Structure 1
């Protein structure tokens, strides 16, 4: 028999680590993933499964059909619901379902670099952003509609086209605003915005040009 140093074992004596315990059973009312995961990330003991869709409260939410905006229950009951675009659906090792969302900001929620916040020109106005965050899937309330309308196009009337309207992008780092048509974004981000504007066109038809006298004043910030 070969003598081994203290705490060292031979390959023959090596014992495989026991498999991780199964996740706890879910409540029937909890969000549930649909189908098989398309990707698994993370290390053993912290693996995450990524799905195309999930079901909650009798409704299905899917990355395939969508990237549809959804409304989320706010942390503070006095706040208005959050609005995000679902970018990823994740099941953690403990079985909980999370959604990674790309955030919209209401003007009164977006901080200015010099202090203060923006004033809303319309109760339906939102700012788009490239900020992402994960929230529990059970905070999803329902889908909603967000129209992306460049500033040189007419503002949509709520009776004809209900839903939120985005004309500006909020830079969460610099705390300033950009127009949808600005070309200072990275190419990938410009492409993303162009696709969102195109989705609006497909949904409601061609956007009408704004009359010069109806053009909104430029933001001094």
Structure 2
């Protein structure tokens, strides 16, 4: 088979491998800086690439020409991937697609532009993949399914539980509780709950401990509204 050299397929006019390199580097930089997730780029991407080309090559390209070139770059990426799906194997080290002539003829009939990769791989494929990696981009409306594993992992008995706290003597593996500072101690006998207003209580048999005005301990006993004070020791 007589297949033209790769340059006959990839380059025309003022376009060359060096010019492609500048455009691709600029678009990749803008895409990563803006986290652009689509394969169609905004006009200001092309405007920036236009300025870069003018600054580095002195060649005048219009924004429309750069956009057209980027569409052609996408064609290069998809074609190179398609050739591999047809059965050709990519030797990355040798930069060569390995396939017999029968397979190449079959590929050419289906995709004539595949002739661009008969002699070697695409010189900018790694950069093209960063821009048009169709298999790595999540499509709009795509929902992600989370599969919960039914396998459980047994926790070793020798390892401390995440609920155990050093210094606690609790029998269960629960966090140690410490009383807050707002807790008040009640000095009640027989665990009888005293009324809030003890002096005005009419309940019979309310027996509690109180402190006298001089700090002496007095035992007080209420019988209705009659209050009898007993000195300590009686």
Q: Which has the larger radius of gyration?
A: 2
The two structures have a TM-score, normalised by structure 1, of 0.20
The two structures have a TM-score, normalised by structure 2, of 0.19
